[in-house]
Amino acid sequence: MISNSIGMLHLISSIAALVLGSWVIFAQKGTRLHKQMGYAYCIAMIAVNATAFSIYRLFNGFGPFHIAAVISSITLVLGMIPVLIRQQIKQWVVWHFSFMYYSVIGLYAAFVSETMVRIPVIRFWWSVALGTFLVMFLGIYFFQQQSVKWKKQFNQNSNQ
């Protein structure tokens, strides 16, 4: 299942990113711990994406999962830019939590897809498509439900 040290680092950083990203999504926003865990998530995701660009066994070259790693890298960068230049962006927190949320949801989709391809009765591409679709659909629904609450949490923390 794991053929080399790059694969092992990819697995370990993926698990770390799943745990950290989940914590950040469900914990109170804007606190010192939220920020620390968020930065740790970013570091783990940088490792996930960097190692993804080093794995070519499945397609013997650049493939669709490398494109997913590019998209993942973009959402991560776009989620962090507002934090780093928040004085120049009026609604920086909305941009931040939107892109970071979808960064985590993309990681969930990758996890579910990776798990589903291990089920022998489901074809590879159907596993990937079904896993990704289900997670993204549920993720969008959850985002719509939670984003108002997150905005209130952030406003309360920034006024203290």
The position carrying tokens 């570091």 is 43
Given a contact cutoff of 8 angstroms between Cβ atoms, the answer to whether 9 and 47 are in contact is yes
| Burial grade of 122 (CB within 10 A; 0-12, 13-18, 19 or more) | middle
Per-residue pLDDT band at 68 (split at 50, 70, 90): confident
Q: pLDDT tens-digit profile of 4-36?
A: 888 889 889 999 999 999 999 888 888 899 999
- Quick check: 2 pLDDT over 70? no
Nearest CA to 99 out of 50, 16, 42, 40 is that of 42
Report the pLDDT value the prediction gives residue 160, as an integer from 0 to 100.
45
Q: Distance between CA atoms of 29 and 45, rounded to whole angstroms?
A: 19
Nearest CA to 83 out of 51, 41, 48 is that of 41
Q: Which segments within 36-152 are labelled E, that is strand?
A: none
Residue 91 DSSP class: T
- Quick check: 117 pLDDT over 80? no
Report the pLDDT value the prediction gives residue 57, as an integer from 0 to 100.
66
